[in-house]
Amino acid sequence: MRNITLGLAAVVLAAGGTGIAFANQSDAKRGPMAADANGDGIISLAETKAHSATRFARMDINNDGVINAADRAARRAARFAEADTNNDGELSSEEMTAAREARTASREARRAERKAARMERLDTDGSGALSQAEMEAGKEKRSEARGERRGKRGEMRRGGRGGGKGVMRMMRSADTNGDESVSRAEFDAAVEARFARVDTDSSGTITAEEREAAKAAMKERRGKRGQKGERRGARGQ
């Protein structure tokens, strides 16, 4: 049981996602707004479901309709096959070096794309350079983004001290029939349940105000957990 659960968690992490609770992330946009396909600042349930479908497909490496330990093995096999350029079933030092250099080049390309996209976002007047006001506005946005990331890490740690335990907890929660696999139906149900928790007015959309309220509630929960931890520590002294 433990090995299978660890495998499920590793599948999610290896696939580039952070689990069911954060299934609405992408490479182009990060955080909750990744699901905002039309860029109107409001996330609809339809947008969230469409985005989560893409995430599920990325995690379902072997395309069998479920996320489980077999996907982790499939990803390892695919990466090995990609690096094994002469198809002899073994990796030479040259092939390993080439694979490492390819990964480095890919990371550099993604980093350059992110820098260009960030410059485009900050350069609101389209001058090709940043004014002091634009830089200050960018600094405020980065501060907000860091707060959101800290909130996500805190939520992932609710099930334990490490992020991996949080992922395992999310996967166990989504696996409602206890078969050690997460089906598309279970995945969608988990995504919709999280959407409903944030969509407090049940309008079928999540506004900026609802996102801020959810963030504030998360911050309050973290504060209460911290206070409980401090009290337990004081009693143990």
How does DSSP classify residue 67? Answer: E
In a domain, 115, yes or no: no
Strands 182-183 and 66-67, sheet pairing? antiparallel
64 lies in a domain? yes
The answer to the question of residue 83 being in a domain is yes
d(CA 195, CA 50): 13
Domain count, the chain: 1
Question: 14-37: b or e for each residue (b if 16 or more CB lie within 10 Å)?
Answer: ebebbbbbbbbbbeebebbbbbbe
What is the CB neighbour count within 10 angstroms for residue 131? 13
- Kindly state whether residue 29 falls inside one of the protein's structural domains: yes
94 has pLDDT over 80 = yes
From residue 102, alpha-carbon distances to 66, 74, 83, 126 in Å are 30, 20, 10, 34
Task: Return mean pLDDT, the chain.
Answer: 78
Q: Alpha carbon 190 to chain centroid distance?
A: 14
Q: What is the pLDDT of residues 32-56, one digit of tens each?
A: 678 888 888 899 999 999 998 998 8
Q: Considering the domain boundaries, does residue 25 fall inside one?
A: yes
Cβ 41 vs Cβ 205: under 8 Å = no
Residue 119 belongs to a domain: no
The answer to whether residue 117 sits within a structural domain is no
Question: Domain residues for 29?
Answer: 2-107+138-236
CA 56/CA 67 separation, integer angstroms:
8
* 47 vs 205: CA distance, rounded Å: 9
pTM of the model: 0.55
Q: Is the pLDDT confidence value at 236 over 80?
A: no
Alpha-carbon dihedral of residues 154, 212, 28, 165, nearest 10 degrees? 20
